[in-house]
Structure 1
Amino acid sequence: MDLSRFQQQLKGASSEARALPPVDKWDPPFCGDINLEIALDGRWFYEGSPIGRASLVRLFSTVLKREGDNYFLVTPVEKVGIRVEDTPFIIVEWENNGDTLVFTTQSGDTIPLTDLSQIELRVPPSALRDDNATAIPYLCVRRNLWARLHQNVYYQLLTQAKEVRKKENNTTITQFSLDSAGKQFVIGEVTS
């Protein structure tokens, strides 16, 4: 599979530049794996070299599909496997838009935080884990594709978070939460 041929297929797949293609409705044959990887820091690599064109990363990110633990780039006519070290997206910016927090990924996706199912606390891969294996927030971008908050974004959010302590079975749990769209989202917790 040649990346430029894949790119040509994508140009004809969507008539609207900003619309997301219906990859969940596409069921093309699997054509094998390509040497494309999304690294822990959110950078995309092809054949070991970084893909420097943001527009190309954006294009490929719109046709990303996850099936179980596997990731694929999909066109209407073929599906190719890629490697993802943790998540395909990294949240690199955030803003408070009225009463709703809005997050932006490294590929330009924007996600308003409006539903409790959009956020999960997960222990990150060992390369990013602290000694206590503290769970950090992951945010659903679309379908079953998730983003991890960049460390700087996470620290900024922690300064805005409300701190609540509660006792459970002789253990004190401190939760850090943010309000968005009239709901309270837990972005971290520690026990003592």
Structure 2
Amino acid sequence: MVEKTDNAVSDATGIAAAASRASKKGPPPVHLWNPPFCGDLDMEIRADGTWFYNGTPIGRPEMVRLFASILKRVGEDYFLVTPTEKVGIRVVDAPFIAVDAEIGEEIVFTTNVGDRVRAGPEHGIRLRGTADEPRPYVHIRRGLWALIDRKTFYRLADAAMPDQDGRMKVHSGGTAFPLEP
């Protein structure tokens, strides 16, 4: 994580208010924003996709979606970004969980924060882990990934077909994705 600066760290309420103002006209363009770093916020996204602030789970789904909309990754660090400030947060594994998928000729994932992406060249599926314990992910946006939950991965595995080498793969968006590490 990035070290704190001498600037006061914003609280979650101020960040949420700025994000709400910025998102009135559609998804916030966080990729265009590069405000000064204001320090780290005591916010963490746990491996199960639960967002915590000051050690307490954030219970309002709309607040989590708002924070998710201004999440930015730079290298291995994660930030909540508004036009005027950037604060660091902790992410244990991936910031999102893919909780469902429409599986047909195309695969459309839905995340725990309401994002929907069609697997393909810009939204790849990749596996980490081992053959015994695969950890599947789908790219959501700008370096932000979602862990594919177990039930959805089993459904993908059920839809997979072997390629000429016998590796199980799913196809979407003109791309083949192996489901084996």
Let me know the Cα RMSD of the aligned residues.
Answer: 1.9
Q: Can you give the 5+ residue segments of structure 1 that lack an aligned partner in the other structure?
A: 124-129, 167-173
Distance (Å, rounded) in 2 between the aligned partners of 1:7 and 1:182? 38
Task: List per-residue Cα deviations over 1:146-188 (Å, max 9, x = no partner).
Answer: 111111111121111113473xxxxxxx522112234322122
Superposition pairs of residues 40-189 of structure 1, within 5 angstroms: 40-96=47-103, 99-115=105-121, 118-123=124-129, 134-164=133-163, 166=165, 175-189=167-181
Of the structure 1 ranges 108-117 and 58-67, higher mean CA displacement relative to structure 2 is found in 108-117
Paired residues of 1:165 and 1:175 also in contact (CA < 8 A): yes
Partner of 1:11: 20
TM-score after normalising by structure 1:
0.82
Q: Closer, same or farther in 2 for the Cα pair 1:69/1:182, shift >3 Å?
A: closer
Task: List per-residue Cα deviations over 1:11-65 (Å, max 9, x = no partner).
Answer: 211222xx22111111111111011000000110111111111111101001000
How many matched pairs?
172
Distance (Å, rounded) in 1 between the aligned partners of 2:156 and 2:90? 29
Paired residues of 1:136 and 1:188 also in contact (CA < 8 A): no
Partner of 1:39: 46
Identity percentage of aligned residues: 43
TM-score after normalising by structure 2:
0.87
Distance (Å, rounded) in 2 between the aligned partners of 1:90 and 1:118? 15
Partner of 2:6: none
Query: Which structure shows the bigger proportion of residues in strand conformation?
Result: 1
Return the offset for 1:93: 0.4
